[in-house]
Amino acid sequence: MILVVGGAGYIGSHAVKMLLDQHYEVVVLDNLSTGHQQAVDPRATLVKGDLGDKNDLEKVFGNYPIQAVMHFAANSLVGESMTDPLKYYQNNVAATLNLLSTMMMYGVKKFIFSSTAAVYGIPSVEIIGEGQLVQPINPYGNSKLMVEKILHDFSRAYQMEYVVLRYFNAAGAHLSGEIGEDHQPETHLIPLILQHLLGQREKISVFGTDYDTHDGTCIRDYIHVMDLADAHILALEALLKDQLKNETFNLGNGQGYSVKEVIETCEKVTQRKAVIEYTARREGDPARLVATSGKIEQKLGWKPKYRLEKIIQSAWGWHENHPRGYQD
């Protein structure tokens, strides 16, 4: 049985569905603070509990034969992490330590961890490989890097076997249309544009037009949430078969799009015109974050299937049918 911590969240819920489709048995642990009960596939067992509470953890590990853990549960807003770092170190680092120590108590050693491009800070290269210097510029990135370091030390001392996956910009929705992105409040570019094009927001703001990029707006590498889920399954299989351990991989498309290009692609997909407001830069945003994912391609045969237009099409399908997210 696979334990998916944070399986009611955006990326976790897609991984849960894919695991079940591939006939894994799944137990989800989620405190539903940002996740949604409706996002959890009914074929999975949902335990409502908190990583901060060791009793909740012991209940899960005591009741289910867990072979491996995927850990998606975290706070992930850069801006919020700047104003409330305690929350990030508590929920992303201290809570993960609880999880890891319970795993060790029950002899569970295989662990897949959701990390982030934010560990690279402001990169000095155009295309970021895993060997690039890690130098986060915000508490969110720091909290993820701390766990990466903990995993490295735990693998050496306690034979923990881990795979770290550094996501670039997760986007899109499950092709079934059943699950998708629903953050409260929403801060991510693609859902904000699509909600605007649905008439739920007056306009879309572009944060900064004076970056050192071809059109002055920030460039990001958008990766479909189903491609992310795929990578988790490949990592899990490799861990379970003892083919690989203690590796860190980037997950991106290898192609960057500027904020303006993302808006144009949304307009093309939806056949609607956006009202755009150009505003000041958002604090903590690097100009360009684009990955090379050659390492996971080579070691696990992972290859992203979806490019920006397809990503936006799937997201549009979700938002059109669920204009109020999981409330619809």
Whole-number Å distance between alpha carbons of 254 and 288 = 12
* Residues in contact with ligand UDP, shown as a per-residue x/- string from 1 to 40 under the rule CB under 6 A: ----------------------------------------
Report phi then psi at 272, rounded to 5: -130, 160
Among 176, 187, 200, 321, binds ligand UDP (CB under 6 A): 187
Burial call 273-291: b when 16+ CB within 10 Å, e when fewer: ebebeeeeeeebbbbbbbb
**Residue 78 in contact with ligand UDP, rule: CB under 6 A:** yes
Of residues 89 and 207, the one with the C-beta less far from ligand UDP: 207
Which SS3 state, helix, strand or coil, does residue 116 take? strand
**Residue 128 in contact with ligand UDP, rule: CB under 6 A:** no
In DSSP terms, 164 is beta-bridged to: 113, 248
Q: How far is CA 270 from CA 219, 261, 263, in A?
A: 22, 14, 11
**Residue 205 in contact with ligand UDP, rule: CB under 6 A:** yes
Of residues 66 and 263, the one with the C-beta less far from ligand UDP: 263
Among 104, 155, 198, 207, binds ligand UDP (CB under 6 A): 207
**Length of the chain in terms of residues written:** 328
Closest CA to 326 of 178, 200, 226: 178
Of residues 49 and 284, the one with the C-beta less far from ligand UDP: 284
Of residues 4 and 218, the one with the C-beta less far from ligand UDP: 218
Residues tagged active-site: 140
Among 41, 130, 230, 285, binds ligand UDP (CB under 6 A): 285
Closest CA to 267 of 308, 207, 235, 228: 308
CB of 219 within 8 A of CB of 255?
A: no
Question: Cβ of residue 269: shortest distance to ligand UDP, in angstroms?
Answer: 17
Contact stretch for ligand UDP (CB under 6 A) within 205-213, 229-237, 270-278, 316-324: 205-213
**Residue 220 in contact with ligand UDP, rule: CB under 6 A:** yes
Amino acid at 158: Y
Contact stretch for ligand UDP (CB under 6 A) within 4-12, 35-43, 201-209, 319-327: 201-209
Residues in contact with ligand UDP, counted by CB under 6 A, come to a total of 14
Element (H, E) at 162: strand 161-167
Binding-site ranges for ligand UDP (CB under 6 A)? 78, 169, 187-189, 192, 205-207, 218, 220, 259, 282, 285
